[in-house]
Amino acid sequence: MSILSSEGKEGGSDGKEGKDDAARLAGIEAISLPMERFGKGRTDFKRHFFRVDLKQKPDASADLLRKSDEYWQAASDYGLVDSVTRLPDGSVHFVLSLKDEGEIKDLVAADPGVEAGAFTLGGHAKI
């Protein structure tokens, strides 16, 4: 399931909608970031929206693009991605829901496509 699709998710294995269960049902691994840094289970902070632009390199492999999409699907399952727009040139515009600007670099750097050089951070701004 892609974050660009509009398919719904089924309930978790224990009858509750759980982010980890949703990730497993979608066939992806849970995101490998310290989720306490991103506020998992906490309600004592405000989230802000940030626009983040990733530029795709023309020689990016289909495998890297798939891994990157799976990573962002997992981030979406955790509530960190509000919206995604993929442009014809391969650039991707995200609206992320984060506590602060510092989380952008952590989240983007862990993208397998960024780690392998298929994408670069084109810019970001608070909206």
CATH classification of the domain holding 92? 3.30.70.1060
User: Rounded to two decimals, what is the model's pTM?
Assistant: 0.66
Looking at residue 84, its pLDDT comes to: 94
Q: How far apart are CA 105 and CA 87, in angstroms?
A: 22
pLDDT of residue 116: 93
Residue 2 placed within a domain? no
pLDDT score, position 46: 78
Residue 45: the pLDDT is 61
* Residue-level pLDDT, tens digit, the chain, 127 residues: 455 443 444 444 444 455 555 545 544 455 555 555 555 555 556 788 999 999 999 899 999 999 999 999 999 988 899 999 999 988 999 999 998 888 899 899 999 999 999 999 999 999 9
Tokens matching residue 82: 């509000």
- Which residue range(s) make up the domain with 122? 48-126
Residue 126 has what pLDDT? 92
Query: Does 12 fall in a domain?
Result: no
Is 69 within a domain?
yes
Residue 121, pLDDT score: 92
Q: How far apart are CA 48 and CA 98, in angstroms?
A: 5
Specify the number of domains making up the chain.
1
Query: How much is the CA Rg of the chain, to the nearest whole Å?
Result: 14
Phi-psi sector, 41: left (phi>0), alpha (psi -120 to 50), beta = left
Q: Would residue 36 count as lying in a domain?
A: no
Instruction: For residue 111, tell me if it sits in a domain.
Output: yes
